[in-house]
Amino acid sequence: MEIVSPDTEVDVIRIEKGPTSIETFHDEAFSIPEVLKLVNKFKTQYDAIIINCFGDPGVHAARELANIPIIGPGATSMHVAALLGHKFAVISIMKNAGPWTEMQARETGLEGKLAYAVGIDIPVLELEANENRTVEEIIKEGKKAIEEYKAEVIVLGCCGMIRVAKTIETRLKVPVIEPVATSLAVAEALVRTGLKHSRAHLYMYPNLSKIMRYKQ
Amino acid sequence: MEIVSPDTEVDVIRIEKGPTSIETFHDEAFSIPEVLKLVNKFKTQYDAIIINCFGDPGVHAARELANIPIIGPGATSMHVAALLGHKFAVISIMKNAGPWTEMQARETGLEGKLAYAVGIDIPVLELEANENRTVEEIIKEGKKAIEEYKAEVIVLGCCGMIRVAKTIETRLKVPVIEPVATSLAVAEALVRTGLKHSRAHLYMYPNLSKIMRYKQ
Amino acid sequence: MEIVSPDTEVDVIRIEKGPTSIETFHDEAFSIPEVLKLVNKFKTQYDAIIINCFGDPGVHAARELANIPIIGPGATSMHVAALLGHKFAVISIMKNAGPWTEMQARETGLEGKLAYAVGIDIPVLELEANENRTVEEIIKEGKKAIEEYKAEVIVLGCCGMIRVAKTIETRLKVPVIEPVATSLAVAEALVRTGLKHSRAHLYMYPNLSKIMRYKQ
Amino acid sequence: MEIVSPDTEVDVIRIEKGPTSIETFHDEAFSIPEVLKLVNKFKTQYDAIIINCFGDPGVHAARELANIPIIGPGATSMHVAALLGHKFAVISIMKNAGPWTEMQARETGLEGKLAYAVGIDIPVLELEANENRTVEEIIKEGKKAIEEYKAEVIVLGCCGMIRVAKTIETRLKVPVIEPVATSLAVAEALVRTGLKHSRAHLYMYPNLSKIMRYKQ
Amino acid sequence: MEIVSPDTEVDVIRIEKGPTSIETFHDEAFSIPEVLKLVNKFKTQYDAIIINCFGDPGVHAARELANIPIIGPGATSMHVAALLGHKFAVISIMKNAGPWTEMQARETGLEGKLAYAVGIDIPVLELEANENRTVEEIIKEGKKAIEEYKAEVIVLGCCGMIRVAKTIETRLKVPVIEPVATSLAVAEALVRTGLKHSRAHLYMYPNLSKIMRYKQ
Amino acid sequence: MEIVSPDTEVDVIRIEKGPTSIETFHDEAFSIPEVLKLVNKFKTQYDAIIINCFGDPGVHAARELANIPIIGPGATSMHVAALLGHKFAVISIMKNAGPWTEMQARETGLEGKLAYAVGIDIPVLELEANENRTVEEIIKEGKKAIEEYKAEVIVLGCCGMIRVAKTIETRLKVPVIEPVATSLAVAEALVRTGLKHSRAHLYMYPNLSKIMRYKQ
């Protein structure tokens, strides 16, 4: 069975400027305007948009712009993880990933379900080049998460870990959430049920003409 | 678009003994052994099982029995609601629904996202017979939830409210989570991504021969 | 001084069918209808009923049935423990005891007081046969709880650990809550002060005639 | 049945200096040294000591001094209330009682169970002189607590409300915790089970000779 | 006495592009790169930098760039408010301010101290033009915060409310936190004590050369 | 730059009776009446008062007495620490410091930001005599706090650690909060901005004539 159903199509669109990867708040800050320009451009051409980074950059602003589901892989993965066991762990990339993930968990309301959060200290763009080391570091932290911190589910905290996900799951013998696949499946679930974000309080319609001297 | 994709089939199976509806802990207690007998019987014939009651009766024991996704509509609906706005409300049936839902929210870890929980005081089996009154009571509580308690998403806290869901959403103008449809979509998402509950800590394999003098 | 005062009598009544011990959610599920049948039968003959398992099986449904104090040894022991020190630990039986106890602590509202929860991986019915091993495992985890996790009070998380309680307390030199004795003393305290559970919101009166094809 | 069992005796001892009642932090501050002098004097003559004020003045310092149960009526009443329903309210005396009670609930770990806390704005020493007004004010706030804030149990937040407790319970039709009776019953329960506060971490043995120029 | 001491100088520097005011996540997203360019340019010329918007836009990324205190007026005002009373309220501008402030409070760890958060629905750039209406709306919500939600301190949730702050304080008779003055005073306090943000875990040094096709 | 600005003067006033240092709740209890007598005597002669002990003895009662800022070094240091990183640790003196600090953190609402709390088991009056051992013990626990518990900021949990603060900061390479300096800087910030504690709910005006047989 495929991750998306036979009647679903997926396109991948890249930002044209901005950071080559997102590892710091600074990287994230420079990615968001570019993400938003794409969301604004494509918001009527798709049924849902996934912002393909675990840090969910610009997800709130994108929801202000669009009336289709905007999927943040971080929040989505954590909610799915919470459905599969008592507590989950997030294993991510840089050393700032521990506290940053805790901040994300607090924002989603799931801090009570987060057993452990850690980075393996391998930059995003080297994850695949060092696939062996990537796998071994994730396994090491995964075992610690399961045995010491009693995590039941491992969330891969980076959208660039897709190639190693199955290996990790086979070796750790617990559910492993790969955020890209999970985001696709949840996006489809939302579209099928006709659900999208609320406009009641948090998400207003932004006034694009207020942004001075930016080309949208 | 249908709630399930073209390659998914859904069967509905009813318990043979037990309560005619679940409105009290007592009702729930007598439903669970029957639910578990069905889960045990069908666990190798399906890709996922939804226990079709918002109170998620027997979901933990069913996960002990089965190695396929076991969906509790209550926990599932609350996690999806948390993805769509800052806070959600649950509108359910009897007057005990307020504190009972708060207990469920604490179990899922989402108590910080629950703005309001209430029952409309109409028994499950009368929801459809009094469809007008059912709608008006839900609308009244829904408006209170949105305006006073700042809920952004309304969760219908009973699997017997499916007929009124669209009307409620049209009138309240916020996302309305209908738990049966949401459970079907999430069940499919889990099956597509190959995810199911963890066996690391909480869910052991039960020994059925320990249950004295019950016919399984 | 005895655990109960001179004017109190205690009877022990066993369920007639169901699990020989409760170690999984599945065991618990099959015990609850039997517990409820006994509660319903005896609810007017006693001043209070203790449901003698740390998992508090059926305590909410029993309160729906009865207008006398229904004591759950788990919740009761945790509240008493919270009165005796800053944080407590619960040492229980199987490996699922860690997360299960955390779920119980969340339900009681005491998760902030729970320093550590663990199972010693000895089945209930072997606790007494292996009394030495039982003691040594509890001591090992108890020391860890006190030294590493800063627990001040140890709660024995099983009603079958009564024979080893004094030994544990003598060796660990902190208060040890034995749930059966604690439940008896609290039951008496509630009866003396005329207190029982509220009927305001959570506990409705169940309609027994709704349970189809069960002999009550 | 009496609140204490036939083999229990109760003595009442008053402080010799200090505030005539405790309504502010300032009152409390000047009561504590006097309470501690009495605890130190009588700690070997009794099986347990209740510090008879809902604010639990000096309870931590008293536990440092004594190796018998030291009962704080505030914390004790809140833990018993939590055993009897989903949420409780505390109705106390002055207008500072709302936030002060919330501080106490946070200290006990029970803030998640506190539905509502309020003072009726009648000084302690006028509670009995204005018994009618005392009753009516408590009833008014009690109804608000039950209907608006969904409290299931009412805790009387002052040890001087003992005369009105039964009237309040009869009229509000929910369990009403009177802190003096509850403290007596819990004190007896602790003595019978041989439990007292832990010496593991929080409660050290104080060095009385460090207190310069005070007569102990 | 002045808000800053005699030996402190304050300069105001404006972003050159981006939103004319910040009222949505979208506005914020387009302000942050401009804020960061200024922080990077001036980080060695000042002893501390205040990012003058209550939403604290870019504060985390700015701390990655700079080794001087970076003050976010929102988090700073909430921590100072927490020092002055049991609970505080934040009164801000647009209707999205309620949930947005709750998100900020969760990030600072102060959600338990936030009694109420609301927007008065007057855009930033009209606050001064409609000074009378601004004052009356803040007073109306302030009274509600104090009387109904038991707030003790009012935080003005916008850096453009400086002109009305004294009037509000005089009329509400509780401490009113004006975020610009508070940020200046706390900035000076941090500089005097030699404190700045930690580099231990969360704040790494960003690699500016990773940002493709942006002029820094 | 000095910790206080050129136009600020600081006086140190000592209590005349009571404990020689505060290491237990008992010590604290006997210090508070003396602290309050001084606060009452000097409350109109100063712009702000710091109660110079990390346990913040009598801070709430002092605020009832005085209409100037009353600074508790413990709460103040924890709020400043929370501004400088994701989580902080408190390293204090006796072994009871761990749970006692956790109680303080809960009172300030900052328990979610406290990574670790511990005492080094050196009495207050020996901190300076054993300066070397003091430093080494703090370094040992500080490293544990940073590496194992992911603290970003170290708070010195005693006002008698002022001499070693700089050494600790130099060696640990994270911000170290020395509570006396921090209290001075925050006191000045409050005075400059005209802020003091609220009189809305928690802090009433105490009636000093109620304190029988004490010389004020």
Give the CA angle between residues C50, C198, D171 to the nearest 5°.
135
> Which of the residue ranges A145-149, B3-7, B18-22 would you say has the lowest mean pLDDT?
B3-7
Interface probe with B: pick from A195, A199, A202, most Cβ of B within 10 Å:
A195
Q: What is the pLDDT of residue D10?
A: 97
Q: Identify all chain B residues contacting E106, using CB atoms and an 8 Å cutoff.
A: 112
pLDDT classification of E23: cutoffs 50, 70, 90: very high
**Bridge partners for B19 per DSSP:** C211
Tokens of F199: 């009189």
Paired strand residues for E92? E119
Question: Residue E67 in contact with residue E43, Cβ under 8 Å?
Answer: yes
Looking at the complex, report in whole angstroms how far the Cα of residue B211 sits from the nearest Cα belonging to chain D.
30
Q: How far is CA A18 from CA A31, A126, E64, E77, E207, in A?
A: 5, 19, 17, 32, 12
**How high is the pLDDT of residue E202?**
98
Are E202 and A107 within 8 A, CB to CB?
A: no
As given in the structure block, the two tokens for residue F201 are 């709910």
- Which of D5, D185, D198 faces C152 most closely, judged by CB atoms? D198
Q: Decide if D193 and C202 are in contact by the 8 Å CB cutoff.
A: no
pLDDT at D58 over 90: yes
Sequence length of chain F is 216
Nearest C-alpha in D relative to F209: D19
pLDDT tier at B11, thresholds 50, 70, 90: very high
The three-class DSSP label of residue E181 is: helix
The mean pLDDT of E155-179, rounded to a whole number, is 97
Chain B residues with CB-CB distance to C32 below 8 A? 29, 32
**Which residues share a beta bridge with F211?**
D19
**ipTM score assigned to the predicted complex:** 0.97
Q: How confident is the model at residue B30 (pLDDT cuts 50, 70, 90)?
A: very high
- The DSSP code for B123 is -
| Contact check, Cβ <8 Å, A26/E208 | yes
Task: Decide if A23 contacts A202 (C-beta within 8 A).
Answer: no
- Cα C86 to Cα C146, D50, D197, F104, distances in angstroms: 12, 19, 10, 12
Q: Does residue D215 have a pLDDT over 90? A: no
Tell me how far apart the alpha carbons of residues E35 and E14 are, in angstroms, rounded to a whole number. 9
Q: Is the pLDDT of residue A216 over 90?
A: no
Average pLDDT over residues C89-94: 96
- Tell me the Ramachandran region of residue A64: left when phi exceeds 0, alpha when psi lies from -120 to 50, beta otherwise: alpha
By Cβ distance, the residue of D18, D28, D202 closest to F99 is: D202
- Could you please report the per-residue DSSP string of chain C? --SS-TT--------SSEESS--SHHHHHHHHHHHHHHHHHHTTT-S-EE--STT-TTHHHHHHH-SS-EE-HHHHHHHHHHHSSS-EEEEESSTTHHHHHHHHHHHHT-GGGEEEEEE----GGGTTTTHHHHHHHHHHHHHHHHHTS--SEEEE-STT-GGGHHHHHHHH-S-EE-HHHHHHHHHHHHHHHT-----SSS-PPP-GGGEET---
Hunting for tokens 């039982």 — which residue is that? C134
Q: How many CB pairs under 8 A join A and E?
A: 125
For chain F, say whether E80 makes contact (Cβ under 8 Å): yes
Is it the case that residue A1 has pLDDT exceeding 80? no
Backbone angles phi, psi at B176, to 5 degrees: -120, 120
DSSP codes joined into one string, B47-90: S-EE--STT-TTHHHHHHH-SS-EE-HHHHHHHHHHHHSS-EEE
User: What is the distance between the alpha carbons of residues A55 and B8, in angstroms, rounded to a whole number?
Assistant: 32
pLDDT surpasses 80 at D33:
yes
Give dist(CA E96, CA B129) in Å, integer: 39
Q: Given a cut of 60, is residue B216 above it in pLDDT?
A: no
Amino acid found at A180: V
The CA distance from C204 to the nearest CA of chain B, in Å, is 7
Query: How confident is the model over C163-168, as a mean pLDDT?
Result: 96
Residue B147, Cβ neighbours under 10 Å: how many? 11
Compare all CA atoms of chain A with the CA of C98 and give the residue at the minimum distance: A150
Using an 8 Å CB-CB cutoff, list chain D residues near B99: 86-87, 150, 152
**pLDDT tens across E134-149, in order?**
999 999 999 999 999 9
**CA E52 – CA E184 distance, rounded (Å):** 10
Place of tokens 């049936």: B93
- Asked whether the predicted pLDDT for residue C181 surpasses 70, the reply is yes
Q: Which of residues 83-122 of C touch D (CB under 8 A)?
A: 83-86, 108-110, 112-113
Q: In what order do the strands lie in the sheet with F176-177?
A: F114-119, F88-92, F153-156, F176-177
Token pair listed for C144: 């860890």
Contacts of B107 in chain C (CB under 8 A): 103, 106-107
Q: Which residue of F has its CA nearest to A117?
A: F150
A39-62 burial code (b ≥16 CB/10 A, e <16) = bbeeeeebebbbbbbbbbbbbbbb
| B137 touches B122 (CB < 8 A) | yes
- The Cβ of residue D145 has, within 10 Å, a number of other Cβ atoms equal to 28
Residue B47 has a pLDDT of 98
As a whole number, the mean pLDDT across chain B is 96
List, as own/partner pairs, every contact residues B110-114 make where C-beta atoms lie below 8 angstroms and the sequence separation is at least 24, other chains included.
B110/A109, B110/A110, B110/B78, B110/B79, B110/B82, B111/D112, B112/A109, B112/E106, B112/E111, B113/A109, B113/B78, B113/B81, B113/B82, B113/B86, B113/B87, B113/B88, B114/B78, B114/B87, B114/B88, B114/B89, B114/B90
How far CA E43 is from CA of E8, E47, E66, F83, in Å, comes to 17, 8, 6, 19
How sure is the predictor about B2, in pLDDT bands with cuts at 50, 70 and 90? confident
Residues 6+ apart with CB under 8 A from C51: C35, C39, C57, C58, C59, C62, C70, C71, C72, C73
Chain E residues inside the 8 Å CB shell of D141: none
F98/C152 CB distance under 8 A: no
Number of Cβ pairs < 8 A linking chain A and chain B? 152
Residue B16: DSSP 8-state: S
Q: For testing the chain F interface, which of D25, D43, D107 should be mutated: the one with the most F CBs within 10 Å?
A: D25
**What's the confidence (pLDDT) of residue B203?**
98
Residue F65 to residues A138, A194, B62, E190, F39, Cα–Cα distance (Å): 57, 60, 61, 29, 7
CB contact under 8 A, A202 and E100: yes
> Which residues on chain F are in Cβ contact (under 8 Å) with C88?
none
Would you place residue C215 in the very low, low, confident or very high pLDDT band (cuts 50, 70, 90)?
A: low
Residue A147 structure tokens: 């045995």
Contacts of B212 by beta carbon, 8 Å cutoff, 6+ apart: C17, C18, C19, C20
Which residue in F15, F17, F108 sits closest to F55, CA to CA? F108
Which subunits count as partners of chain C given 3+ CB pairs below 8 Å? A, B, D, F
Name the phi and psi angles at D19, rounded to 5.
Answer: -70, 145
Confidence (pLDDT) at E2: 86
Mean pLDDT of chain C: 96
Question: Number of Cβ pairs closer than 8 Å across E and F?
Answer: 152
Q: Do B26 and C203 touch (CB under 8 A)?
A: no
Task: Tell me the pLDDT tens digit for each residue of B140-185.
Answer: 999 999 999 999 999 999 999 999 999 999 999 999 999 999 999 9
Interface test with C, best of B210, B212, B215 (most C CBs within 10 A): B210
pLDDT tens per residue across span B102-152:
999 999 999 999 999 999 999 988 888 889 999 999 999 999 999 999 999
CB-based contact B152 E99, cutoff 8 Å: yes
Pairing of strands B88-92, B114-119: parallel
Helix (H, G, I), strand (E, B) or coil at E85: coil
Asked whether the predicted pLDDT for residue C11 surpasses 70, the reply is yes
Report strand pairing: F211-212 vs D18-19. Answer: antiparallel
- CB C210 to CB B20 under 8 A? yes
Rounded mean pLDDT of A171-183? 98
- For F40, nearest residue in chain D (alpha carbons): D26
**In Å, how far is E120's CA from the nearest CA of chain F?**
22
> Among candidates F180, F162, F185, F5, which has minimal Cα distance to E187?
F185
User: What tokens does E170 get?
Assistant: 């005089």
> Which among E99, E103, E106 has the least Cβ separation from residue B150?
E99
More confident residue, D214 or E188: E188
Alpha carbon distance D162, D209 (integer Å)? 39
Residue-level pLDDT at F6: 86
CB pairs under 8 A between A and C: 9
Query: D18: phi > 0 → left, psi -120 to 50 → alpha, else beta; which?
Result: left
- HSE (CB half, 13 Å, CA atoms) of A183? 26
Taking the CA of residue F94 and the nearest CA in chain C, the distance in Å comes to 14
- Whether residue F190 has pLDDT greater than 80: yes
Under an 8 A CB cutoff, do F94 and D214 touch? no
Task: Using the structure block, give the residue that is written with the tokens 């004539």.
Answer: F209
Question: In chain E, count of helices (H) and strands (E)?
Answer: 7, 8
For residue B195, which of F80, A175, C175 has the smallest C-alpha distance?
A175
At D187 the three-state DSSP class reads helix
Q: What is the pLDDT of residues F73-113, one digit of tens each?
A: 999 999 999 999 999 999 999 999 999 999 999 999 999 99
**What pLDDT sits at residue D201?**
98
Q: Tens digit of pLDDT for each residue in D98-142?
A: 999 999 999 999 999 999 999 999 998 888 888 999 999 999 999
Q: How far apart are CA D10 and CA D52, in angstroms?
A: 12
Chain center to CA of B207? 27
Residues of B in contact with D86 (CB under 8 A): 99, 102-103
The helix/strand/coil state of A119 is strand
Q: Which residue of C has its CA nearest to D155?
A: C195
Largest CA distance in chain A: 54
Nearest to E55 by CA among E114, E11, E87, E103: E103
Instruction: Check CB contact of C146 with chain D, cutoff 8 Å.
Output: yes
- Out of A25, A63, A64, the one facing E61 most closely (by C-beta) is A25
pLDDT above 90 for B6: no
Question: Looking at the predicted structure, is the pLDDT value of residue E216 above 70?
Answer: no
Which residues in E lie closer than 8 A to residue B151 (C-beta atoms)? none
Tokens of B46: 């399906």
Q: Cβ contacts of residue D115 below 8 Å, gap of 6+?
A: D87, D88, D89, D145, D149, D150, D151
**Dihedral in degrees, nearest 10, Cα atoms F89, F91, F94, F99:** -10
Pairing of β E114-119 and β E88-92 = parallel
Q: What is the mean pLDDT of residues D203-214?
A: 91
* Facing residue for F20 by CB, picked from D27, D32, D210: D210
In chain C, residues with a C-beta closer than 8 Å to the C-beta of F98 are: 150
Residue to substitute from A23, A25, A64, A103, interface E, most E β-carbons within 10 A: A25
Handedness of CA D134, D136, D137, D138 (dihedral sign): positive
pLDDT number for residue F124: 85
Give Dmax (Cα) for chain C: 54
* Mean pLDDT, chain E, whole residue set: 96
For residue D40, the chain F residue with the least C-alpha distance is: F26
Q: Is the pLDDT of residue C124 over 90?
A: no
In F, minimum Cα distance to E166 occurs at: F194
Nearest CA in chain D to E147: D95
Q: What percent of chain A has pLDDT over 90?
A: 90
